[in-house]
Amino acid sequence: MRIGLGSDHNAFDMKESVKSYIKELGHEVIDYGCHSCSEVDYPEVAFEVGQDIMKNKLDRGILCCGTGIGVAIAAGKVPGIRAALCHDTYSAERAQLSNSAQILTMGAKVIGVEVAKQVVKVYLESHFSGGNSGRKVQQITDKEQEFLKGESAPHEKTYK
């Protein structure tokens, strides 16, 4: 598989370790940055990975930041993307089996590198098969399309 990988500065070391591990598992890795421990904002990295998944340039994505929450929220703003925050193997497996999540997110300040590798392995080995979960994923997709068309769109706050 072609895996897009990205992080902010808080998770740079984890990203680098996970990158080597994904290659050991036999997958191709496209590194979206960051490329050092210098401070960088994660949204643009998450947006790029999400967009490239939607353009079929990537099979899946893995994003890391301090908690994994920010990159999950940012990636989830890309229409069609389902990003799942997982810090254990069961959640990583269910992210695929139940939710067809194209992006796995993790927090470098929450779990260590060895646990992250286990989570990544299970996530990459799991595959969505539809069934009852397919119906639920379709409901999410349908509602997202309604929101994008402006139908029943919630009012969002603006932050500055």
- Helix (H) or strand (E) segment spanning residue 157: none
Q: What string of H, E and C letters represents the secondary structure of 66-101?
A: CCCHHHHHHHHCCCCCCEEECCCHHHHHHHHHCCCC
Phi first, then psi, for residue 44 (nearest 5°) are -60, -40
CA 129 from centroid of its chain's CA atoms: 19
Residue of 34, 37, 64, 65 marked catalytic: 65
Phi first, then psi, for residue 4 (nearest 5°) are -85, 135
Sheet arrangement for strand 28-31: 28-31, 2-7, 60-65, 103-107, 83-85
How many CA within 13 A on the CB side of residue 27? 24
Residue with tokens 């979960």: 133
Instruction: Answer yes or no: 65 catalytic.
Output: yes
Enzyme catalytic residues: 65
